[in-house]
Chain A
Amino acid sequence: MHPVRRQRLWVVLSIVIFSTAAIGLVVYALRGNINLFYPPIEVASGAAPLDTPIRVGGMVVDGSVKRADDSLEVSFMVTDYQATVPVVYTGILPDLFAEGEGVVASGRLDASGTLQADEVLAKHDENYMPPEVAEALENSAAKGVTP
């Protein structure tokens, strides 16, 4: 074969092989490692799947944060002002986690409708609201439900 052609074949082949490998990896990795966001109203209405990684976000209900005395277990309620979802988390909460502030928790819903969270993300500065939470609250406001 002509050297230039052989070289081109080599180039094309390596690109094809690598892209195939990469696409395979991407598809494989996407299967188990993405999760969907649900506002509390959808969790309450049963739209959210049980025992599947999901994220739930909204505002932390005032007075709902309860800490255990002898462990690091914390429970609190998350609301979009239409429905509330109980969340249980064991570990250290982020600094800006507070009652009446926006939060996104990721974890799995158990049979009792409680989110067993393995990660809790709070906003990181005064003015910032996670976009999902902002949208969930706008939806509530659009339906005439306000805090």
Chain B
Amino acid sequence: MIPELGHFALVLALVLAVVLAVVPMAASFQGRYAAMRLAPTLATAVAVFTSISFACLATAFLQDDFSVRVVAANSNSLLPPMYKFSAVWGNHEGSLLLWALILSYWLAAVAAFSQGLPTIMLARVLAVMGAIAVGFLSFSLLTSNPFERILPGVPADGNDLNPLLQDPGLIIHPPLLYMGYVGFSVAFAFAVAALLGGRLDAAWARWSRPWTNVAWAFLSLGIMLGSWWAYYELGWGGWWFWDPVENASFMPWLAGTALIHSLAVTEKRGLFRSWTVLLAIFAFSLSLLGTFLVRSGVLTSVHAFAADPARGLFVLIFLAIVVGGSLTLYALRAPAVRSHISFGTVSRESLLLLNNVVFLVATLTVLFGTLFPLLMDALGQGKYSVGPPYFNAVFVPLMALLVPFMGVGPLSRWRDDSLHRWKSRMLLPGVIVVILAVVLPFIADQGFNLWVALAILLAGWLVAGLWQDFAERRRNSPSLLRSLRRQSPSYWAMVLAHTGFAAAIVGVVATSQYSIERDLRMAPGDSETLAGYRFVFNETARVRGPNYLADAARFSVYRNDREVASLQAEKRRYLASGSVMTEAAIDPGLFRDLYVAMGEPVGTDGAWAIRLHYKPMVRWMWLGALLMGAAGLLTTFDRRYRREPRVAQTEAPRAPA
């Protein structure tokens, strides 16, 4: 009964979404305000019914209703309740429903927090998002109904959730990532509404900005969690693989990074308008493309669920409609929203333009590398794969190119600045940073490394720029505390995000350069020393978990004969599926992680293949991403987004062009 209820609620949500997409949109062109004002209510209703539907599916999972096909295929009565719940989105059908759910929450949020928006604008924004909801709800209902029953012949127990997904990180990784992915639909809807109305000014950018920042923040956090999960769960200590599906989430992030910077220019200076709109369309299109890549199974990836061509086709058609439609609209309307304001060659605008170009080029190169195998396959040129070396060779220099300008960014001035001023501010810190970059790597256990020195140089340059900017802001203020308090949340968000980027640079380079990884044959009693840490294999043991049996390897780690960590790695065999999974043991630290994972038994004397890692500063990368995510959320506290004057409901104000 409950699954049928869920199915029914989902159908209702679809019907409401269709009404939302059609009625307020049509009304906005006919000037019927009563119909336009229906939009927020309809949006909330879509959210309510999608929630009911989702709750029904979750109930089916929690109650072990194995007559529902996805429950039987992805859950098991022995599964801990927490994982029964996360199993809801550990499969194609459920994750699609989660997608629709989150989209409906964004809809409800826009409806709830945008009361200050002109009625026409709000109606159009919600209608565009409603149209996207129609796409996803019908995708769910037509090609991947999560409530399908297996009748008759209900299995006695389920197949169990893929053991890789039985992990706390995976409970929140997909929802966070989807919050980001789907969140760009808000920026997209604002862009389309602006094109429809021919209105694209500073006020538009101010409305659109907090939504975009929040979406970007969630995407940052989602990507970070995914990377962290891969690190401790996949059992070989990697944290980024340039896997097509990772790229699928990374491309919208890159485009989104360009977008939040370009929105800043549009808000502050009224510049880059049509460019900003294009980026918003681009970011959301990349989110959809990501969905297509993940859901269609066209690419070999650790994320692909079993493929079904009908689904791929559906997303592809949807993608074509969204991209084609919005780009056509853009081509027709963009000339109307162009800006005619000039700026100096040496100015903050130029630096932000450079940021945009770099991030866009980076997006395109990642896009190219991701689609290259598909392209070659379609042309009959054979089955290629593009590996991490390609992406590293392309991506790393691009980012390195960005940083010198990014460092100057915070202290640069709008409109017109001078190289002389930049030089006077950055010369001394520059020299200090160079000295630090040369000296600091010597402190590391592995000694001087050129790449680490460069990373410190780049990161230090970013921090120096922020510092000099703050010093300038301080100069006009009587006390430190006052000057700290006087800065806006947006300012602090920028400081946080840029510091996070600096931390990530240091983390990525230090861990890539200094990591020591060793695969060994070890028997109990054996020991091995990595970077001054002596790993001693004490014993093996048998361990029983709630739904698995495991072989465990117990290690003690000594540094200078003092025990610093005691680690227990496991090799688990899950009872329901019989699948085997490695559970790595990690001793985390701000400056180094110690990592032990088990391979398979070797020989007859109780020896195992053992993987030992020493990973310095790997956490800095996630810490950096965490700072960026926090920064994106912080911007919403800025007063100018809340102290918005309530505009008349009947007439949208014409802001000066």
Residues of A in contact with B (beta carbons under 8 Å apart): 3-4, 6-7, 10-11, 14-15, 18-19, 21-22, 25-26, 28-30, 32-37, 55, 67-72, 90-93, 95-96, 104, 106, 121, 124-128, 130-132, 135
Give the interface of B toward A (CB within 8 A).
Answer: 159, 162, 164, 235-236, 297-300, 302, 304-307, 340, 342-343, 345, 350, 353-354, 357-358, 361-362, 364-365, 368-369, 372, 382-387, 389-391, 393-394, 397-398, 401, 519-521, 577, 579-582, 597, 599-600, 602-604, 609, 611
Are the C-beta atoms of B579 and A14 separated by less than 8 Å?
Answer: no
User: What are some 11 contacts across the A-B interface (CB < 8 A)?
Assistant: A7-B343, A22-B394, A25-B394, A25-B398, A26-B394, A69-B602, A72-B609, A91-B519, A95-B580, A126-B162, A128-B305
| Inter-subunit contact A25/B611 (CB<8 Å) | no
Contact (A72, B521) CB under 8 Å given A22-B398, A32-B389: yes
Q: Is the CB of B386 within 8 A of A34?
A: yes
Chain B residue, CB-CB nearest to A32: B389
Given contacts A33-B389, A55-B385, contact A92 B304 (CB under 8 A): no
Given contacts A19-B361, A36-B382, A36-B383, contact A4 B602 (CB under 8 A): no
Decide: B521 and A25 in contact? CB cutoff 8 A.
no
B393 adjacent to A15 (CB under 8 Å) = no
Known pairs A22-B364, A126-B579, A131-B298. 13 more at Cβ < 8 A? A15-B357, A19-B361, A22-B398, A26-B369, A29-B391, A34-B384, A55-B385, A71-B521, A95-B582, A96-B579, A131-B297, A132-B383, A135-B383
Residues of B within 8 A of A106 (CB): 385
Bound-state CA distance A23–B362 (Å) is: 11
**Chain B hits for A25, CB < 8 A:** 365, 393-394, 397-398
Are A14 and B353 also in contact (CB < 8 A) when A29-B393, A37-B382, A92-B600 are?
A: yes
B345 touches A26 (CB 8 A): no
CB nearest to A121 among chain B residues? B300
- Shortest beta-carbon distance, A111 to chain B, in Å? 23
Q: Write the nearest CB–CB distance from B180 to chain A, whole angstroms.
A: 24
CB neighbours (8 Å) of A126 from chain B are 159, 162, 577, 579
- Residues of A with C-beta under 8 A to B236: 92
Determine the chain B residues whose CB is within 8 A of the CB of A132 once the complex forms: 300, 383
Bound together, the chains give a CA A144 to CA B149 distance in angstroms of: 36
Alpha-carbon distance A10/B393, docked complex (angstroms)? 27
How far, in angstroms, from A99 to B354 measured CA to CA in the complex?
53
Give Cα A27–Cα B582 distance, bound, in whole angstroms. Answer: 38
Q: Closest Cβ of chain A: how far from B604's Cβ, in Å?
A: 7
A-B pairs, 9 with minimum CB distance? A92-B599, A29-B393, A37-B383, A33-B389, A69-B603, A33-B390, A127-B306, A22-B361, A29-B390
Contact A72 B599 (CB under 8 A): yes
Cβ–Cβ < 8 Å partners of A67 in chain B:
600, 602
Closest to A127 in B: B306
- CA–CA, A135 to B377, complex, Å? 12
Determine whether the beta carbon of A70 is less than 8 Å from that of B384. no
Q: Chain A residues with Cβ under 8 A from B398's Cβ?
A: 22, 25
Hey, which chain A residues are within 8 Å of B306, CB to CB? 125, 127-128
Q: For B599, list chain A residues within 8 Å (CB).
A: 72, 91-93
A33 adjacent to B353 (CB under 8 Å): no
| B573 to A, closest residue via Cβ | A95
Beta-carbon contact of A18 and B361 below 8 Å: yes
Query: How far does the alpha carbon of A131 sit from the alpha carbon of B373 in the complex, in Å?
Result: 12
B342 A3 Cβ-Cβ under 8 A = yes
Q: How far is the CB of B164 from chain A (nearest CB, A)?
A: 7
| A90 vs B393: C-alpha distance when bound (angstroms) | 27
How far, in Å, is B86 (CB) from chain A's closest CB? 15
**B235: chain A residues within 8 A (beta carbon):** 95
B87 to chain A: closest CB distance in Å?
13
A residues less than 8 Å from B394 (CB atoms): 22, 25-26, 29
Asked if B365 contacts A125 (CB within 8 A), the reply is: no
Q: How far is the CB of A66 from chain B (nearest CB, A)?
A: 12
